[in-house]
Amino acid sequence: MSTTPKTGQEMDAYTVNVIKGLIMDATRKANSGHPGGAMSSADYAYILFKEFLSFDPDNPNWWNRDRFVLSAGHESMLLYSLLTLNGYLSIKDLMEFRQFESKTPGHPEHDQTPGVEATTGPLGQGFAMAGGMAVAETFLRHKLGQDITNHYTYVLVSDGDLQEPVALGSAALFGQWGLGRLIAYYDSNKIQLAGPTKRADCSDTKKLFESLCWQVIEIDGHDHEAIRTAIREARAETDRPTLIIGHTTMAKGSATLEGSEKTHGSPMSPEEIVATKNKLGLPADESFFLPEDVIAHFRQRFPLLSDRSGQWSEELAAKQARDASFAALWEAIHTPASKRNIQWPDFEPGTNLATRKAFGACLNGLIDQFPNLMGGSADLDPSNQTVHFRETTGIFGKDNPLGRSFSFGVREFPMGVILNGIALHGGIIPFGATFLVFSDYERNAIRMSALQNLPVLHVFTHDSFFVGEDGPTHQPVEHVSSLRLIPNLLTLRPGDAWESAACFDVAMKQETRPSVLIFTRQGLPVMDPATHPHIREGVGKGGYILEDPTDGKPEIILLASGSEVHLAVGAARALPDAKIRVVSMPCMELFDEQDAAYRESVLPKTVRKRMAVEAGSPDIWYKYVGLDGEVIGMNHFGASAPAEVLKKVYGFTVDHIVERLRETWLK
């Protein structure tokens, strides 16, 4: 083994080799992991972290830090090694790679590991989330001032990331928006898990990204001076995002496995690790080798970084003291969501109003109350009721960085992931809207919202077969129930305009979980708060007693959500002698979280005669009505016909509910 080199270039090369040793040792100890890609990306990531990335060595959550997203999440040991070099993790953490409750899970998870900006498991989403962070930085830089918000977003992507359509759909938007502070590095090692990428892809990535309005720079990804030059060129380009294509070798530096897919998803053998360490000038008999001179070399910039973050804190305090409007805005965007005091519009009882229109009215009322509310529609602005928001706040883009409306185009999945990135950055309340049936396209983004504890607002209209003539391709059936299966997600389906405002209020006050807000196309009767005074409180508890028999002693319980609530009310009123309690259930998740006493007060065990009504899959409702209960739902696809025809055919009328009640319990 050679002695530790001392010159600058030699120390850079040696530190990269030390990082590769940590990658090999951790994946071997865990008997699990992906060393090859992490080793091919090591040169670029090392130069970026050591020489360019702006962060606070003592505070991984410093507001004005550069964001780095490892979209190639399977290369997690590369990131963990760098976070150990900068002091956020320890060698002990690396030894616990992929173990239960460690700070070093198999793929980066932002809420478990200091310095990890996003949970990057599914490929392509880290790339899109990074762009969302760059969107937030751009808006807030112009809103708060460059002295407060002024940083870059870097993302490292793999071949697999760019093969996922979500990445290219997002890339088109980032080029359109001119995100000059978004810098993506593509580690083009031309190998994926199953073998060479040429088996699956003939894309000319340079031409492709240039056509999407990106600056593209090609380099040898192992040449440190070329890496430095490329990063400088990327930072100098202010009107376009930059893709740096680094041509690299899989498992660079390994003894016999350079360029092999065998290193993509499996640790190296002990024999290969020993041979590789000998080749790299590392002690072959020492695991997790990290000498002090390497740490000192890596941290040469730390005094400068600490001074920079300290000066920023002083400037923030001074600006708050001298600029009252800035101080108010800063306080507003940092007020905990649960403390928000929101004014909602009023609605005219007795009128008919689609809940999507109630959503639109609520959204319009938030424009001035929350200057950091940003969002848009996936090319369904009129249908989603976001036109007024767009026309009032302006369209976000390179010519209007203070615009608050996003024109996502027909890109539901990229929309959802970009919203996650915006939420991860902080300082902005993000929402996105489309038809409920397209939640399937967006589903994994919604799941990642929930997994990352992000209070994103996912808005869906046209929520059932009442879409009508567009037919079964556009008529949701299983979607509401399917969304209810995602952990840590609130699925809110209001029954009228007042419940819509209450559901929106619930969503706006979440701090650690996302919400899906589900609205109708068709008009629904607007309830009278004078006769239903507990709507806001009841919605906050997920389910509540909407109407009761005059003596308050129900013999039958009729449950419903959304557009079927007024049908349940109509059926109960048509059978006054049946002693029917009507329960509105806009959010099952919230109701299930209430204490046993409250749930018993709404659904007393003594009342076994129960029926639920929802224009969707029926199965989930049996947890409330019991196996002996009845559910009027849909276990089939819809059809192309006017909604008024379909509701009679499918039995979603007051008359049909009354008939079922009579047949079941009132013979």
Hey, what are 659's tokens? Answer: 């008939």
Asked whether residue 482 carries a pLDDT value surpassing 60, the answer given is: yes
Structure confidence at residue 326 (pLDDT) = 98
Cβ density class 138-148: b for 16+ within 10 Å, e for less: bbbbebbeeeb
Structure confidence at residue 7 (pLDDT) = 84
Helix axes 654-665 and 565-574, enclosed angle (nearest 10): 60
Asked if the structure places residue 552 within a domain, the reply is yes
CB-CB contact of 342 with 366 (8 Å)? yes
Run of H or E residues at 209: helix 205-211
Asked if the structure places residue 461 within a domain, the reply is yes
3-state helix, strand, coil in the chain (%, to 5): 45, 15, 40
Same domain, 510 and 612: no
**In the listed set 525, 552, 578, which residue is the last one of a domain according to the structure?**
525
438 annotated among ligand-binding-site residues:
yes
* Active-site option among 109, 117, 137, 412: 412
**Mean pLDDT computed over 72-99:** 98
pLDDT band at 1 (very low <50, low <70, confident <90, very high): very low
Cβ atoms within 10 Å, residue 310: 12
298 annotated among ligand-binding-site residues:
no
List pLDDT tens digits, range 125-143: 999 999 999 999 999 999 9
Domain count, the chain: 3
CATH code, domain with 129: 3.40.50.970
Same domain, 544 and 504: no
Share of the chain above pLDDT 70, in %: 99
Asked whether residue 551 carries a pLDDT value surpassing 90, the answer given is: no
CB-CB contact of 16 with 46 (8 Å)? yes
Rounded alpha-carbon distances, angstroms, from residue 403 to 239, 332, 442: 16, 18, 24
Asked if the structure places residue 388 within a domain, the reply is yes
Hey, what are 325's tokens? Answer: 């409007």
Asked whether residue 152 carries a pLDDT value surpassing 70, the answer given is: yes
Asked if the structure places residue 324 within a domain, the reply is no
DSSP 83-116: HHHTTSS-HHHHHTTT-TT-SS-SS--TTTSTT-
List pLDDT tens digits, range 288-319: 999 999 999 999 999 999 999 999 999 999 99
List pLDDT tens digits, range 323-382: 999 999 999 999 999 999 999 999 999 999 999 999 999 999 999 999 999 999 999 999
Q: What's the CA gap between 514 and 525, in Å, rounded?
A: 28
Asked whether residue 255 carries a pLDDT value surpassing 70, the answer given is: yes
User: Of 374, 449, 360, 437, nearest to 408 (Cα)?
Assistant: 374
**Mean pLDDT computed over 189-197:** 88
458 annotated among ligand-binding-site residues:
no
Q: What's the CA gap between 78 and 134, in Å, rounded?
A: 23
Structure confidence at residue 5 (pLDDT) = 53
Same domain, 126 and 224: yes
Q: What's the CA gap between 25 and 419, in Å, rounded?
A: 36
pLDDT band at 191 (very low <50, low <70, confident <90, very high): confident
List pLDDT tens digits, range 498-522: 999 999 999 999 999 999 999 999 9
Asked if the structure places residue 455 within a domain, the reply is yes
Structural domain range at position 459: 337-525
107 annotated among ligand-binding-site residues:
no
462 annotated among ligand-binding-site residues:
yes
List pLDDT tens digits, range 628-653: 999 999 999 999 999 999 999 999 99
Same domain, 281 and 391: no
Active site residue 412: yes
With 0-12 / 13-18 / 19 or more C-beta atoms within 10 angstroms meaning exposed / middle / buried, residue 348 is exposed
List pLDDT tens digits, range 56-69: 999 999 999 999 99
Same domain, 102 and 246: yes
Q: What is the DSSP letter of 509?
A: T
State if pTM tops 0.95.
Answer: yes
**In the listed set 257, 288, 304, which residue is the last one of a domain according to the structure?**
304
Same domain, 373 and 511: yes
Structure confidence at residue 3 (pLDDT) = 54
34 annotated among ligand-binding-site residues:
yes
Asked if the structure places residue 312 within a domain, the reply is no
**Mean pLDDT computed over 101-119:** 97
Same domain, 35 and 174: yes
Same domain, 104 and 54: yes
Same domain, 341 and 487: yes
Share of the chain above pLDDT 90, in %: 97
Same domain, 108 and 205: yes
Structure confidence at residue 6 (pLDDT) = 66
List pLDDT tens digits, range 441-477: 999 999 999 999 999 999 999 999 999 999 999 999 9
CB-CB contact of 250 with 37 (8 Å)? yes
Asked if the structure places residue 332 within a domain, the reply is no
Same domain, 295 and 349: no
Bridge-partner residues for 581, per DSSP? Answer: 557
Structure confidence at residue 195 (pLDDT) = 86
470 annotated among ligand-binding-site residues:
yes
Structure confidence at residue 517 (pLDDT) = 98
CB-CB contact of 666 with 575 (8 Å)? yes
Asked if the structure places residue 311 within a domain, the reply is no
CB-CB contact of 386 with 375 (8 Å)? yes
Q: What's the CA gap between 304 and 284, in Å, rounded?
A: 35
474 annotated among ligand-binding-site residues:
yes
Same domain, 379 and 495: yes
Helix axes 125-144 and 439-451, enclosed angle (nearest 10): 70
521 annotated among ligand-binding-site residues:
yes
CATH code, domain with 610: 3.40.50.920
Q: What's the CA gap between 640 and 626, in Å, rounded?
A: 33
List pLDDT tens digits, range 21-45: 999 999 999 999 999 999 999 999 9
**In the listed set 458, 491, 525, which residue is the last one of a domain according to the structure?**
525
